[in-house]
Each structure stands twice: as C-alpha cells, then as structure tokens.
C-alpha cells in the first residue's frame, strides 16, 4: 500500500530524481494499481512527464498494463494531449 501511494504521488509530479531514488531504495513494485485502477506509468503519462514515464519503463513497468476501463498509458497520454509521451520508443 505504501509503495503505490509513494509512486502515485511521484508520478503526478515531474520528479524524475525522486522516482529513481524510490525505485532503488524501496525496491517498489512499479506495476501496482491505485484505487482507481491506474498504475504509476499511466498517471505519469496522463501528466505528460516523459522523463518519469521513461524511468518507470526502465524500472520494469508493464507497458501493456491497462487501467480499469481498458486504456493503456499510450491511450491515456493521447487523451490528455501529451503526444510527446508516445513519441518515445518504449518497446
């Protein structure tokens, strides 16, 4: 529970350095879902934080994970107008 709260908070902010530190120090599971069904990767993509999205993917975030309505981080970032997030090759 604490991991998802920490990662959710970091995903909503453009906090690449803090995210990287959290991955290493907490060995956090970057694929946890918060109560709304969003992963930290999806949250960061919704906010348009490309560097943070890349950090989550590098830390093992599942790029195929979908939120409760079936949308991936790619769809969520496009819906929010953050097309720069999806221009990076994550695969």
Q: 3-state DSSP: the chain helix, strand, coil percent, rounded to 5?
A: 55, 0, 45
Residues 39, 61 contacting (CB under 8 angstroms): yes
The backbone torsions φ and ψ at residue 55, rounded to the nearest 5 degrees and listed phi first, read -65, -45
Instruction: Specify whether domain 2-86 bears CATH 1.25.40.10.
Output: no
Total-model pTM:
0.74
Q: Using H for helix, E for strand and C for coil, what is the string for 23-43?
A: HHHHCCCCCCCCCCCCCHHHH
pLDDT, tens digit, 9 for 90 and up, residues 76-87: 999 999 999 888
What ranges do the domains of the chain cover? 2-86
Q: Is pLDDT at 26 greater than 90 in this prediction?
A: no
């Amino acid at each position: 529970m604490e991991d998802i709260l920490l990662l959710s908070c970091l995903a909503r902010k453009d906090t690449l350095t803090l995210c990287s530190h959290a991955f290493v120090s907490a060995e956090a599971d970057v694929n946890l879902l918060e109560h709304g069904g969003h992963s930290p990767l999806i949250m960061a993509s919704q906010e348009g934080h490309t560097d943070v999205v890349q950090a989550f993917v590098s830390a093992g975030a599942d790029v195929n994970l979908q939120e409760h309505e079936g949308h991936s981080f790619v769809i969520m970032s496009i819906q929010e107008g953050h097309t720069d997030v999806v221009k990076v090759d994550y695969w």
